[in-house]
Amino acid sequence: MRKIMGGAVTAALTVAVLSGCSSADSSAEDKESGKKSEAAAAPSSSASAPSSASSSGSSSAPKAKDSGEWKKADTRIGNAGTACELPVSFMATKAWKQSCLSREDGELLGKLSGHKTFRGALELDAKPAGNIGFIRVWTADAMNDKTPRQVLEAFMSEEKKVKDQEYTETKAGELPAAEVLYKVDSVLSDGPKQERALAVTTPKGVMVVHLGGFDTQEYQEMLPAYETAKKTMTPAS
């Protein structure tokens, strides 16, 4: 399991907390810059080269999130002996970058995120797959006697600037679960953005899985990875 020492802990976890903001902001600027560059280049390109050549060039450009490769789930996370042991295991989407947190680092991440009851356990970064956002996994002590709904409500009480919360009773694999769909105000996007979270309880502990993105479009594009994790959940072995 990854261990960050000394002053690097604060720096790394500050980046982890703010990555949804700073990385998203930077990536969004890169996207916007790329769009402007393409728009500026398009007229001169079509004027100086045959349309067939232009079409061939654009079709050969790799696009990770259009290829289908990023949607393949081929790594099970959470079982004993794996890099990141969790109360529940699930299949993770191939292209997403996995970062496991030690207990110490997870507690610090919780404090920096405003979660006093929960600690960070795992972060799945979607940027390698072409999206701006994360799936974050949280755990908590002394909540094993709570229902999934109670765990989820406790988690949401520590989230900030949320509104339009819609709770549902559902299943995560064969596990009873509670899920919430909600909106959150963001200074980085134009208006409220969509997010969601899921809670499960097992004899080994409770777990909350949270999906957030730069904006609602990014959230929607990352939703298949979240749904894959949800439908493949089993108690960790």
DSSP assignment of 96-155: SEEEE--HHHHHHHHHHHT-SSEEEEEEEE-GGGT-SEEEEEEEESS-TTS-HHHHHHHH
Dump pLDDT digits (tens) for 101-120: 999 999 999 999 899 999 99
The tokens for 234 are 């089993």
Cα separation of 138 and 122, whole Å? 7
Name the domain count of the chain: 1
User: Residue 231 is part of which domain span?
Assistant: 65-235
Cα separation of 218 and 216, whole Å? 5
Global pTM reads: 0.69
Q: Tokens 């299949």 correspond to what residue?
A: 91
In this structure, are residues 218 and 135 in contact, taking their beta carbons and an 8 Å threshold?
no
**pLDDT computed for residue 119 by the predictor:** 95
**pLDDT computed for residue 15 by the predictor:** 41
Q: Does 29 map to a domain? A: no
Q: Does 121 map to a domain? A: yes
**pLDDT computed for residue 7 by the predictor:** 37
* Residue 181: CATH number of its domain: 3.40.1000.10
Q: b vs e for 192-210, b when ≥16 Cβ sit within 10 Å of the residue's Cβ?
A: bbbbbbbbbbbebbbbbbb
Q: Does 8 map to a domain? A: no
- Which ranges of the chain have pLDDT less than 70? 1-74, 189
Q: Does 185 map to a domain? A: yes
In this structure, are residues 9 and 104 in contact, taking their beta carbons and an 8 Å threshold?
yes
Dump pLDDT digits (tens) for 48-87: 333 333 333 333 333 333 334 434 546 899 999 888 999 9
Q: Does 49 map to a domain? A: no
